[in-house]
Amino acid sequence: MSHCIIRNMLLSLSGFLLLISAAASSEPYYVNPGDMLRVDVWSEDLLSRDVLVRPDGFISLPMIGEIDTSNSTPPAVSEIIAQALSKYMKDTPQVVVSVQAVEGNKIYVMGKVLRPGEYNITSETDIIQALALAGGLNAFAAENDILILRREADGEQTSIRFEYATVKGGEEIHTNIVLRSRDIVVVP
């Protein structure tokens, strides 16, 4: 077996192991603008429906109107809806909110990569994985000057420096942080 084939098999195996570890993560999922949610209200078919999370983070439901889903997990949104509906019902209803499509869970990779753009992510994705999604760095990339631009919940934008060369060499792997929805990876 040639050295290239073995190397490619090892790279594929390591990518597979990263996917498995990401899937086993205990991080909760937070609802994002653009996500499609399914709201099911037990024994109330007229109130059950699919709803799109608007860019402002709100959804609209009959009887209760606007619900803010910003910085909320699906179970938290279920509780908000149940409490709002309880004002109109004899008993607090059983409400289940499930994510039907994670269209709002996106990262952006721009600059000197082979395929810059917007990428939907369905599991934890670190910087190295994001660069792989974008086809890797091109020959002119400044691999030690990569920045992650992140907007915090309060609206403040922060910048995180990332040195690709040290991580690809097996050093400083703790700096290969997991990206958050709407992070922007800039490769100068």
Per residue in 86-117, pLDDT tens?
Answer: 999 999 999 999 999 988 889 999 999 999 99
Question: 9 near 17, Cβ under 8 Å?
Answer: no
> What are the phi and psi torsion angles at 60 (to 5°)?
-115, 135
pLDDT band at 4 (very low <50, low <70, confident <90, very high): very low
- The Cα 129–Cα 82 span in angstroms is 38
Classified by CATH at the fold level, domain 36-101 comes out as wza like fold (3.30.1950)
- CATH of 105-187, picked from 3.40.190.10, 3.10.560.10, 3.20.20.10, 3.30.70.1050, is 3.10.560.10
Q: For residue 147, is pLDDT > 60?
A: yes
DSSP state of 37: E
Mean local confidence (pLDDT), 70-99: 95
Mean local confidence (pLDDT), 50-63: 94
pTM over 0.75: no
Q: Where are the domains of the chain?
A: 36-101, 105-187
- The Cα 103–Cα 99 span in angstroms is 10
Half-sphere exposure of 135 (CA within 13 A, CB side): 12
Given this model, what pLDDT does residue 19 score?
40
